[in-house]
């Protein structure tokens, strides 16, 4: 195999082949592959529209929810690097991660705003690049849904290669400061391929992430 598509390409293919099939769900919501792809493209354009460029880091603090699926695919499409933050960390603990990765944007679920607010003035993220999603709007934060609604749904013209970094996964830091492990698109595609073959997954199956 000479080329391994990144997750954004795979999502686009599924949106064409299975537009009305459920592509992602959490305990409360679900979305089809078509809706998922549309929202991921809009989010990718929105993040680029607030001043982010290829390889910029985007920190995410949230519980398990469908927004993770949108964010992971949007960052892949835009060539950005997703930096997941463990929701069990305190503000001071994840402050180090935000500083270490030089994050240019921060997406947070509204239920976890208190932790962000406790250290926000000390985080190196531009003030206008804090984004919140959930059931309530918050002054001083861009609204996640507002950004998606106002952005174009076309694919941004960003050249993303297999060896480009996609995620920056920080270790627990039990023996010192957390360390960022870089995962690129090719590695992510290979892991998915091997998992599919090993478990015998098909288009009829669902998987817990």
Q: Give the residue among 171, 152, 155, 163 at the shortest CA–CA distance from 101.
A: 171
Q: What is the pLDDT of residue 207?
A: 72
pLDDT digits (tens, 9 = 90+) for 24-63: 999 899 999 999 999 999 999 999 999 999 999 999 999 9
Q: What is the pLDDT of residue 172?
A: 84
Asked if the model's pLDDT at residue 1 lies above 80, the reply is no
Hey, which bits of the chain come out as E strands?
22-25, 30-32, 57-61, 81-85, 105-109, 130-133, 142-143, 165-170, 180-184
167 beta partners = 82, 183
Contact 115, 90 (CB under 8 A): yes
Instruction: Say if residue 184 is exposed, middle or buried (CB neighbours under 10 Å; 0-12, 13-18, 19+).
Output: middle
120: which DSSP letter?
A: G
Please give the model's pTM, rounded to 2 decimal places.
0.92
pLDDT digits (tens, 9 = 90+) for 92-139: 999 999 999 999 999 999 999 999 999 999 999 999 999 999 987 789
pLDDT digits (tens, 9 = 90+) for 147-204: 999 999 999 999 999 999 999 999 987 778 889 999 999 888 877 778 878 888 777 7
CATH topology of domain 7-199: Rossmann fold (3.40.50)
Instruction: Say if residue 194 is exposed, middle or buried (CB neighbours under 10 Å; 0-12, 13-18, 19+).
Output: exposed
Q: Give the residue among 139, 146, 97, 145 at the shortest CA–CA distance from 122.
A: 97
Asked if the model's pLDDT at residue 74 lies above 50, the reply is yes
Distance CA 29, CA 33 (A): 13
Q: Tokens for 181?
A: 């492990």
Over residues 56-71, the mean pLDDT reads 97
Q: Phi and psi (nearest 5°) for 69? A: -65, -40
Asked if the model's pLDDT at residue 2 lies above 50, the reply is no
The side-by-side arrangement of strands in the sheet containing 81-85 is 142-143, 130-133, 105-109, 57-61, 81-85, 165-170, 180-184
Asked if the model's pLDDT at residue 209 lies above 70, the reply is no
Q: What is the pLDDT of residue 3?
A: 55
Instruction: Say if residue 182 is exposed, middle or buried (CB neighbours under 10 Å; 0-12, 13-18, 19+).
Output: exposed
Instruction: Quote the radius of gyration of the chain (alpha carbons, Å).
Output: 17
């Amino acid at each position: 195999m000479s080329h391994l598509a990144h997750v954004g390409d795979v999502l686009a293919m599924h949106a064409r082949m299975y537009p009305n099939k459920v592509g992602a769900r959490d305990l409360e919501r679900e979305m089809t592959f078509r809706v998922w792809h549309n929202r991921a493209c809009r989010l990718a354009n929105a993040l680029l529209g607030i001043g982010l460029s290829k390889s910029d880091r985007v920190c995410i603090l949230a519980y398990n929810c469908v927004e993770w699926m949108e964010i992971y695919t949007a960052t892949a499409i835009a060539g950005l690097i997703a930096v997941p933050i463990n929701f069990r960390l305190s503000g001071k603990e994840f402050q180090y991660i935000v500083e270490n990765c030089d994050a240019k944007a921060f997406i947070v679920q509204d239920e976890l705003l208190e932790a962000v607010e406790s250290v926000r003035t000390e985080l190196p993220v531009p003030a206008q690049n804090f984004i919140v999603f959930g059931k309530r709007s918050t002054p001083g934060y861009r609204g996640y849904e507002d950004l998606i609604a106002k952005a174009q749904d076309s694919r941004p013209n960003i050249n993303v290669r297999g060896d480009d970094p996609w995620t920056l996964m920080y270790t627990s830091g039990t023996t010192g400061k957390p360390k960022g492990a870089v995962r690129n698109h090719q590695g992510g595609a290979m892991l998915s391929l091997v998992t599919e073959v090993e478990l015998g997954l098909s288009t009829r199956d669902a998987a817990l992430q």
